[in-house]
A and B are shown apart, each in its own frame.
Chain A
């Protein structure tokens, strides 16, 4: 994964490659039952309440923390070119779908070469505040927990090898 933050342009560029066809990757991004399987970094869970993948449609979902706290997000689809690109407007919301502005504009590009699919995500934030709130939501704990899991795993692997 390549992760570049351009603070001046208030833009984040994220590029990742997956050894899967574009068809599969596109499905994983555009079907709620698949999205919910990977969108939230563990131990958080993604729970999609509404998803209508079409221009003018939206995904209304919650990031659910291990203790059951929900943080709602709305993603409005503004442009779709099947298996190539889609754009959305992303904003935090309350449980009644009232948006908390400002939000951010996302531009996702998909391209396949020799069975590998590259996804380029460009996120423009009207304010970098949003980015920081992502972290404030408690993902910090989440990632810390993940690192602990990894450390435990490495420890047990080492113990097994010794």
Chain B
């Protein structure tokens, strides 16, 4: 549960969203990622650690370098959650529509 909760925290941060957008295109080393930001290399490392903990990114050792890449499936999971939330509201409003029809009928009978 904690991991799932963190997924939303992960994508709520603008720098982390930018990192996600970057590595969605290709796997990158922390140095290459840090070049795209004004923040320190340490800050980027911290963001990468959070993204890794959330299982949004995976790391792979290639020679002396570590490459980070995006877990596309995990991103899909987020969209699925949002889709469920949308469905809750849709169901709710369908029911409200029915209740309003009954209210209208009652009113016209008065």
Q: Which residues of A contact B (CB under 8 A)?
A: 1, 3, 5, 7-8, 10, 12, 14, 16, 18-20, 24-25, 27-28, 34, 37-42, 127-129, 131-132, 134-136, 139-140, 142-143, 146
Contacts and interface: CB of A to CB of B under 8 A. Distances in A.
A28 B93 contact: no
Nearest to A10: B12
A8 B17 contact: yes
B63 interface: no
A5 B82 contact: yes
Contacts of B104: 20, 24
A14 B100 contact: no
Contacts of A39: 92, 95
Given A7-B12, A38-B96, A143-B91, A24 B84 contact: no
A38 to B, nearest CB: 4
Given A20-B101, A134-B88, A142-B88, 19 more contacts: A5-B82, A7-B12, A8-B17, A16-B93, A20-B100, A24-B103, A25-B96, A25-B100, A34-B99, A38-B92, A39-B92, A42-B95, A129-B9, A131-B85, A132-B4, A132-B7, A140-B84, A143-B87, A146-B91
Contact of B85 (A10, A12, A24, A142): A12
Contacts of A19: 97, 100
A6 to B, nearest CB: 11
A1 B86 CA distance: 9
B23 interface: no
Interface size for chain B: under 10, 10 to 19, 20 to 34, or 35 or more residues? 20 to 34
B69 to A, nearest CB: 21
B87 A28 contact: no
3 closest residue pairs by CB, A with B: A41-B91, A128-B8, A38-B95
A37 B17 CA distance: 40
Contacts of B14: 8
A42 B99 CA distance: 14
A136 B80 CA distance: 12
A41 B96 CA distance: 10
